[in-house]
Amino acid sequence: MSNISKHQLSLTGKTNSRRFAGRSHRQRGSAMLELAVAVPLLALVLAGVMEFGRVFYTAAEVSNAARAGVQYAAINTANASNFDGMQQAATNDAANVPAMTATASQFCECPDGTSTSCSTGSCSLKRTYVKVVTSAQFRTMGTYPGIPNPISVSSQATLRVQ
């Protein structure tokens, strides 16, 4: 009979509550400590994700600007030699990227792939191409170990115009 009464006491929780009373006092504030450790780590991860998004956006803008420059040359054959117009089209396309530079050029090739002069080419059926190279310097919001600041972002687009 005494075994049954001990068992009933443990089911009521009176014995268990006394046994764990000291332990809950020692765990007080542990959630606050875990939060204090987790919040800076989460903030660092969030900052990294934001910086990656900004770099990716800048790279996309620089790439799109190079394409806009060669598309300007494709409008008509007169634009294929208008380097200032191609550079301006590229710069206008990337208005949100500060200090982006664009360089336009033209080159010619023979059908077999050898380079030739566009004005005095020696091969028949020469192919005329335009190329626009865009570049910008991306600056991060902070300094991060292992990540250079600034980051060079560049792109080029080439299009056959003739």
> Residues 95-108: pLDDT tens digits?
999 899 999 999 99
Q: How far is CA 37 from CA 24, 26, 43, 142, in A?
A: 21, 19, 11, 21
> Residues 46-83: pLDDT tens digits?
988 999 999 999 999 999 999 999 999 999 888 989 99
- With a cut of 90, say whether residue 152 has pLDDT above it: yes
Total of domains in the chain: 1
- Show contacts of 97-100: CB within 8 Å, 24+ apart: 97/58, 97/61, 97/62, 97/65, 97/136, 98/136, 99/136, 99/137, 100/61, 100/62, 100/65, 100/134, 100/135, 100/136
The mean pLDDT value for 133-142 works out to: 93
> Residues 121-132: pLDDT tens digits?
678 888 999 999
- Cα–Cα distance for residue pair 110/160, rounded to 1 Å: 12
Question: Does residue 12 belong to any structural domain of this protein?
Answer: no
Question: Does residue 155 belong to any structural domain of this protein?
Answer: yes
Q: Domain residues for 84? A: 20-160
Question: Does residue 95 belong to any structural domain of this protein?
Answer: yes
Question: Does residue 78 belong to any structural domain of this protein?
Answer: yes
Question: Does residue 4 belong to any structural domain of this protein?
Answer: no
> Residues 19-31: pLDDT tens digits?
555 555 667 778 8
| Per-residue pLDDT at 92 | 95
Residues whose CB is less than 8 angstroms from the CB of residue 152 and which lie 6 or more positions away in sequence, other chains included:
135, 136, 137, 138
Question: Does residue 50 belong to any structural domain of this protein?
Answer: yes
Question: Does residue 119 belong to any structural domain of this protein?
Answer: yes
Question: Does residue 11 belong to any structural domain of this protein?
Answer: no
What is the pTM (predicted TM-score) of this model? Answer: 0.73
